[in-house]
Amino acid sequence: MKHYPNPKILEERLTAYCHTHGITENQAVQLALQQFLNDAVLITPYELGVEGFGADHTHSGDIAMNSRQMLRERFRDSIARSRRAR
């Protein structure tokens, strides 16, 4: 979780910055916002999640085409064990 400074401390720092640089608080906030938005990297949802896609590596190939077979293989042992337990 990101830590943000106390609003009172932030306001004091803003006032000191504006006094030092000879600008109004409004101008300082506008400049900061412009810089923040210009520096912001526009990342697509795909790019944000690409590292996690298929992260479990439990399948190979096309999961949609092989899903029935994969489910049978995955649960065959558990079904057989439950039948033997009866």
Q: Which ranges of the chain have pLDDT less than 50?
A: none
pTM for the full predicted model: 0.43
C-alpha–C-alpha distance, residues 46 and 1, integer Å: 23
Would you state the pLDDT for residue 55?
A: 59
Would you state the pLDDT for residue 76?
A: 79
Would you state the pLDDT for residue 69?
A: 81
Would you state the pLDDT for residue 54?
A: 67
Q: In sequence order, which residues have a C-beta less than 8 Å from that of residue 40 and are 6 or more positions away?
A: none
